[in-house]
Structure 1
């Protein structure tokens, strides 16, 4: 175990909080999965727990493998992965899942192993690394709107355009995080305002087109509008059932909760083990449990801030911000939906909700961040070792000078120096 811990490089604080969140996830997932077993009649609670354990185990394997790769390699990988991700998203639009005739093309099945995979989650990671690479490249260089639009924003809009029809919340989150990242990367603010205006305009045009020609392409515009109407105007909506059950669960939990596994609303709340798992946590562990989960995410956010500040390279800083902040924002969105501060979005609670691809993509992001912190630790260690060697050398030189001075005072002849000694003080000290 000690050897395994020693092999975990990078920021130990990030490792600790990620492990704690993953550990906390088992009891809520085990408890919430019972509604799938007894109401839907699929599998067993132990089966869902083992499945979640496998997902977490694979996720931490991905963290370990990814954090071993030097983070500057991801510059080139992001460029190679962008067209691949675009093709996967295009394939997902036409081959993805359809639920009750409505477009829900977010997942594709991986051939031969039958695992469903959410391509937009991978696209978000690749896109953030791509944007970080571009910002690091243009830093301290004059940038024109035309050149940045062609090299940066056209790929961003293409990827978001492929995600948007089936998953507005993910597209909006990614676009918001890209805007935040380019702001941090000192991209000209006036250009950023142009881009935001263009994004809003294109979204409006897409909605109008989808309403005018509903059969032209698969989309979920009616679902988005219905959710917004329900949230702002109290218009009856199928999502009201989920929100009401989530609020009942939270209210039932009180301060200390009903106890592990004693949730009642898990039997009535759809997606209780994924989208609304925070409500089950509060019901079973109370306000104290909910605040504890929020505290862990905030501490993880704090570690992201600290490590981003310590990173020596701009690309490393931007990677931590671009991949770390979305994890925290996704968690806040999930919790905000559960308490009806936000409309229903379908965003999972990172590292706690059940689900394979969502956990794995979060773990890949964490692995890249740890790769950055690992490199910074190696640099700091090299500097410390160099300073230690220089201090030891200086001490030897000082001791030698003192020894020769004592000899002179005692009337003894000083040691002879050669030309080689003058060029190499260490030889002068150690070689005699």
Structure 2
């Protein structure tokens, strides 16, 4: 109990120190109240973990809350007005996280709705394609009652649940195969059909929306979950030429993809035009050096386009330096690695696959967005989980976190119950 409160107090203390160093603009009073609400939720949540005897992984939630606190500080640094909305979403997300953690009695019940999750994923994408609005070249937003949401974020949750249920049910057939193709055995059409149909629908709709960054995340999620469950490198081998083919088609069909690739290859050809975004990002990251310019002292917050969303890591790297950037990466690495640890310990196959899928999704998103802002990959326009501004992303990732820790807690409770029964039998 004392250790839990100490860790949360340290995280909140760092957040308040960071906020105290910044200018809050004309929304100081509103921001102060939202920050106090966030503090109260974190502290009361840690007490509720004690009351409800939380026994799951002790490291994932503090790591996420540290990432979240850092993200809130830097959104305030970039734009206090935007940060006010970000605090709202962060507080709602934390409440949803605790609701998912404690109200789902048996996470295995989620596996009973395989085709419902699949239809929900496709339905959300179709609605966005038909009625959505474009931003940054991709048609990925829906506006409801004056609030903009990104259905693609909620599709991540639905796809994870679909994949976990599908892979659990068909694991052996996918691993062994029933149809011989030369030296290789593959599953028959009845087994592989739902998977291929889902992949084709989801990626096809995303291509029609020109949301190719999200398509890349989903494609890697499909392939890596399939590989992790079956342990067949054949699926990785098949996925590579498909990826190269679809990537080439995307380059040929969509102008904004060609622009992004050309900017990625040489942003210095047009550093004040098409290459301005990535050029300013690299200037900011390079200007941070080892220890950074200091919180509030960088220029990237005002010169890097989309600093609060796609490029917030560039601002962090400038003002906290290489040391701060590596600290953020370590926190994400802790979350991803502990998610795989939860997967290995889960008491049933569905829980193992679902926890591994959450770890794969978080790792893939983090890798792609950080590679984009550092010019290792073309820009994709996806948010950095728990850091970038965006309500839809925050809500979905907090729900995923709740599911992950629900699995972890159920596993720990089951193991303790088994040990107690063993002791009873021994006596």
Provide TM-score, normalisation by structure 2.
0.79
Larger CA Rg, structure 1 vs 2: 1
Please give the residue correspondences for 1:17-96 in structure 2 after superposition, counting only pairs within 5 Å: 17-33=63-79, 45=80, 47-68=81-102, 69=104, 70-96=106-132
Tell me the matched-pair count: 365
When residues 182 and 132 of structure 1 are mapped into structure 2, their CA distance, relative to the original with a 3 A threshold, is same
CA contact (8 A) 2:347 2:411 kept: yes
CA RMSD of aligned residues (A): 2.3
Question: SS at the partner of 1:259?
Answer: coil
When residues 76 and 204 of structure 1 are mapped into structure 2, their CA distance, relative to the original with a 3 A threshold, is farther
Match of 1:275 in 2: 310
Please give the residue correspondences for 1:239-388 in structure 2 after superposition, counting only pairs within 5 Å: 239-388=274-423
Counterparts of 1:198 and 1:84, CA distance in 2? 25
> Alpha-carbon deviations, 1:136-181, whole Å to 9, x = none?
1123346423123322110121012112232101101111121011
When residues 160 and 262 of structure 1 are mapped into structure 2, their CA distance, relative to the original with a 3 A threshold, is same
**Unmatched segments (≥5 aa) in structure 1:** 34-44, 211-220, 395-432
Q: Give the superposition deviation at 1:282.
A: 1.4
Q: Give the superposition deviation at 1:289.
A: 0.8
Q: Give the superposition deviation at 1:24.
A: 1.4
Q: Give the superposition deviation at 1:133.
A: 1.0
Counterparts of 1:156 and 1:196, CA distance in 2? 15
When residues 198 and 332 of structure 1 are mapped into structure 2, their CA distance, relative to the original with a 3 A threshold, is closer
Counterparts of 2:166 and 2:304, CA distance in 1? 43
CA contact (8 A) 1:274 1:355 kept: yes
**Unmatched segments (≥5 aa) in structure 2:** 1-43, 178-186
Q: Give the superposition deviation at 1:200.
A: 4.8
1:120 equivalent to 2:152? Answer yes
Question: SS at the partner of 1:108?
Answer: strand
Question: SS at the partner of 1:107?
Answer: strand
When residues 340 and 379 of structure 1 are mapped into structure 2, their CA distance, relative to the original with a 3 A threshold, is same
1:138 equivalent to 2:184? Answer no
1:170 equivalent to 2:205? Answer no
Match of 2:182 in 1: none
When residues 341 and 192 of structure 1 are mapped into structure 2, their CA distance, relative to the original with a 3 A threshold, is closer
When residues 356 and 186 of structure 1 are mapped into structure 2, their CA distance, relative to the original with a 3 A threshold, is same
Provide TM-score, normalisation by structure 1.
0.78
